[in-house]
Chains A and B, each alone.
Chain A
Amino acid sequence: MSTEPTTELKQDLKAQIIKHLNLQDRTVESIADDTPLFGEGLGLDSIDVLELIVLMDRQYGVRISDPQEGRTVFQNVTTMAEHILAKR
């Protein structure tokens, strides 16, 4: 099975992130696939990570319980999408 995320999945992820984290100043188009989720990118914080973990579980059926795994997964939209494909 291919682990190359589709554009559709990444677009859907961006929309979900905007909706669940209430990023009113962002649009799907304004978030690049490799925009960092933290720091100078989307500027998310530790509470947002918890929200992303819930989002991954609810929307995509993927659970993240290992903090080290989270560091790898929550770098940008591409890494999130790759993880979803790998774990589905």
Chain B
Amino acid sequence: MSILASTAYHDGAFTSAGVRFACVDGDADQRLAAAWNQLRIDYPRFHRADRLSRLLLLSAAPFFEANGALAACDPETIGMLLCTCTGSMESDARYQALLRDEGVASPALFVPTLPSIALGELSIRHGLHGSGVCLMMPAPSASALAPAIGMLKQQGMRHIVCGWADTFASHARSAFAAIALETWADTHLNQLQSLFDEH
């Protein structure tokens, strides 16, 4: 089986390994924090990261927990593939608002105005040294990811954290899979698309 595990987050509801918990109170950041706190992971950096990074950290966390799908895999050969529509727009808006309102730039806010920073945060969190790809697309499309998956496989990646994350204003949504590339074939794209469609 190529898709080893999956997770999904939709505006407060987080699903992992068939277990779903939901927090409907508060704004998008508070709901995301509540979902993270459910995992009982001590990682203060989570709360300091931009929202796209937090969404990715949350989505991938179960894959790396003890007995998680990727817990025993070589971090040198774990790649990352993120697709998103709004990308870093949440951080862009905050950065621009600060410039407009206070006339100053914030280095900490500037950094995540690139969506690929989320991959860096994931790398730092789990010590991943594999390749990463960040793609912008209007909606999650497994077939559109196929060339990138093939490229990561060619580069020697044996596993990937692969999925969709999107957040802006009150909206935050993700669907991620831990994928084993050794057995991956394009025929598995339907399963990945189903994951995207379900969430």
Q: Name A's B-contacting residues (CB within 8 A).
A: 20-25, 43, 47-48, 50-51, 54, 58
B45 / chain A contacts, CB cutoff of 8 Å: 43
Q: Does B125 contact A (CB under 8 A)?
A: no
Taking the closest CB of chain B, its distance from the CB of A86, in whole angstroms, is: 23
Contact of B108 among A21, A24, A58 (CB under 8 A): A21
Q: Which of the four size classes fits the interface of chain B? A: 10 to 19
Q: Name B's A-contacting residues (CB within 8 A).
A: 44-45, 47-48, 102, 104-108, 111
Q: Are B47 and A25 in contact (CB under 8 A)?
A: yes
In the bound complex, CA of A21 to CA of B106 (Å)? 10
B107 / chain A contacts, CB cutoff of 8 Å: 47, 50-51, 54
Q: Are B104 and A21 in contact (CB under 8 A)?
A: no
B106 / chain A contacts, CB cutoff of 8 Å: 20, 51, 54
Q: Are B104 and A24 in contact (CB under 8 A)?
A: no
Task: Enumerate the 4 nearest inter-chain pairs by beta-carbon distance, A residue then B residue, closest first.
Answer: A50-B107, A24-B47, A25-B44, A51-B108
